[in-house]
Amino acid sequence: MTSSHIFSGVSSISLPAAAAGGSSPLTLREIVFFLKMRWPWMLATTSVFLALAGVYVLTAQPIFVASTQLLVFSQVNGSEAQRAFAEDAFLEAQLEIAKSNDVLGETAKTLDLANDPAFADKAPSLQDKAKAWLTGTLHDGETEGATDAAEQESLKEGKTEPADRVVARLQRLAVLRRDRIITRLRNMVVLRRIGRSMIIEISADASSPRRAVEIADTLAKQYIRKNILMKAEAARQYSAWLEKFVTEQQRGLTEAANALATFKSNPRDQFKLAELQSAADARRTLYESTLTQFTEAKQRISYSVSDATIVSPATAPLSRARPRGGLVVAFATAVGTGAGLMLAMIRHAGDRRIVRALRLAEAAELPFVTQLARSEKVRNGNSACFLAADAGSGSSATYPIIPGMAGLAATVAGLRRKRKVVIGIVAVDPGSGASTIACELAVQSAESGCRTLLIDAAAEKPSLSSSIAPYSSTGLVDVLDNIDLIQTAALPLTPTLTFLPLGRMRGVSPAIRLSSGRTQLNFNDLKKDFDAIFVDISAFSTSPDANAIAPELDGVLVVTCHGRTSIDDTVEVIDGMRNVGAEVLGAIINKSPLRMQS
């Protein structure tokens, strides 16, 4: 037989017919089968995610993080619960001050970040865009960027405008640029309270360790400076109020002293004198107290002390903080495996191809379904080598071309004992190996000692006739008109195996002519001379021969291709043959991988 025929190995697994429409619970065997069937999907999806993760890790700009720690002093009095509540509120306020535009703006100004191309001209990262999108500021940022570009383009064009409008435009550009730098810097720093302590940690990330240290330390210093300025401004306002209050108290003290001196010069009422003396002393005490507070306020303006001090300045990080290769790879593996599993489940649920014998047996209500595996063995196209011409020659040419074919042959032998002598083999789609299976069944039957006839009724190419008897001039087509020609048309391949080639096609196919009953060839007459007759029929999807000849046979075996033939098409073929009165004995899933047999 020529290499145009695809031979498949056999591992026969016959399954009993299951109740149609029954749903079986998920079992470990089903899970194992699913993994065996769909592991390439999961592996491919995971590999894609890992590849993307690898590209990201290799191409992403490294980010280094440096941290500075500040100790904040809170002068809070009261009970322990009151102090705890007040300290929490005080620290929250300090964190907001440290993240204010003033502190961030002074930090950017001190480090001259506006003129740093690596910072000012850096495109926003995907993480920054995600943050902006979640906070609803993405559109605003894009609008500002577009406005900035439009303003700069307008200035470059050199349009004649009044000086005041040009100055206003430049100021607007400066404000937009400053706001973008502050926003970007805010995305680069993280401020948090360490546990329940009074320590604030300032973390800054940058593309270089040195820049990360500079940003963290400068931000801490600018926060302390802001704190000092705020306290000085508060002291200045308090001092201004105290100054007015001291002046008022001094005026009142002078008035009280004058009234007391005037009364002492002409004392008439000792009680009145004591009252005036008491008022003058009270005025003096209040004046002296206010004067002391005023002096302290003046000192706080000149020598303000911050509420925070640096505990630990930032140190240069030894390794990058992002991207974390191990974490990215682990995350990509988990997501890829999950996505692959989901895609595999979707594919498995919607896959209508035949991959399992049990599913086909339940859908088509078949007595048995056999799976045949691939085999690398092939028979030679030479008819002398195709089968042993001499049974006594000891030739090994009749070895089973499909390992395990004996299992399927034994099932067919059991059917033969039920008087299923004439068996047709038809494929749903061409290329499924129906001709090879018909040939091998005939070989196995002949080797068991049964007188076997193999008939080629398939009008499609390539055929058994072109492989076994390429030079035969007569065949089935001729025998239909003249039964006497069977003596010359039928070729004895072994003492127990005879082959009837197709012959030269003329008009209607032999299968259609056999169904008419007006031919000289009759299967009942052939049964007298042969114990088993196997008929190779054209594929159902390419020819109507199967429906025509199947009712004339004792039974039909339907051949499908693993992973290619649709289960819906197969059920339709089987139902069609049953509708015309044919008996479908079972089905064969050909070219099935060994790992998929179950």
pLDDT in the model for residue 49: 93
The reply to whether 435 and 537 lie within a common domain is yes
Is 14 a domain residue?
Answer: no
Is 16 a domain residue?
Answer: no
**Which residue has better confidence, 64 or 460?**
64
CA distance 345 to 347: 5
| CA-to-CA dists, residue 598 to 22, 344, 533, angstroms | 19, 19, 30
Given pLDDT bands bounded at 50, 70 and 90, which one contains residue 125? low
pLDDT in the model for residue 303: 65
pLDDT in the model for residue 541: 87
Q: Which of 12-16, 20-24, 354-358 has the highest mean pLDDT?
A: 354-358
Given pLDDT bands bounded at 50, 70 and 90, which one contains residue 572? very high
CA distance 15 to 31: 19
The reply to whether 164 and 71 lie within a common domain is yes
Q: Which of 93-107, 351-365, 408-422, 471-485 has the highest mean pLDDT?
A: 93-107
Question: Quick count: other Cβ atoms within 10 Å of Cβ 220?
Answer: 29
Q: Are the beta carbons of 216 and 201 closer than 8 angstroms?
A: no
- Range of the structural domain that residue 521 is part of: 359-596
pTM of the model: 0.57
Residue 11, pLDDT > 50, answer no
| CA-to-CA dists, residue 223 to 107, 200, 369, angstroms | 9, 11, 80
Question: Quick count: other Cβ atoms within 10 Å of Cβ 281?
Answer: 13
| CA-to-CA dists, residue 496 to 446, 452, 463, angstroms | 5, 6, 22
pLDDT in the model for residue 161: 61
Q: Which two tokens stand for residue 496?
A: 């127990």
The reply to whether 177 and 234 lie within a common domain is yes
Is 144 a domain residue?
Answer: yes
Residue 17, pLDDT > 70, answer no
**Which residue has better confidence, 145 or 531?**
531
Average pLDDT value over all residues in the chain: 79
Is 340 a domain residue?
Answer: yes
**Which residue has better confidence, 153 or 33?**
33
CA distance 438 to 454: 8
Residue 10, pLDDT > 50, answer no
Is 5 a domain residue?
Answer: no
DSSP state of 199: E
CA distance 543 to 539: 6
The reply to whether 152 and 279 lie within a common domain is yes
The reply to whether 455 and 335 lie within a common domain is no
Is 429 a domain residue?
Answer: yes
The reply to whether 338 and 293 lie within a common domain is no
Is 93 a domain residue?
Answer: yes
Amino acid, res. 305: V
The reply to whether 246 and 379 lie within a common domain is no
The reply to whether 287 and 363 lie within a common domain is no
Is 511 a domain residue?
Answer: yes
The reply to whether 462 and 509 lie within a common domain is yes
Given pLDDT bands bounded at 50, 70 and 90, which one contains residue 74? confident
The reply to whether 260 and 369 lie within a common domain is no
The reply to whether 508 and 400 lie within a common domain is yes
Residue-wise pLDDT tens digits, 224-269: 888 888 877 877 787 777 778 778 777 877 877 777 777 776 666 6
**CATH number, residue 376:** 3.40.50.300
The reply to whether 112 and 253 lie within a common domain is yes
Percent of the chain with pLDDT strictly greater than 90: 18
Sort 549 into a burial class: Cβ within 10 Å, 0-12 / 13-18 / 19+. buried
CA distance 263 to 275: 11
pLDDT in the model for residue 183: 85
Residue-wise pLDDT tens digits, 500-559: 998 887 777 888 888 777 788 888 888 888 999 999 999 988 888 888 899 989 999 999
Q: How many domains does the chain divide into?
A: 3
pLDDT in the model for residue 404: 56
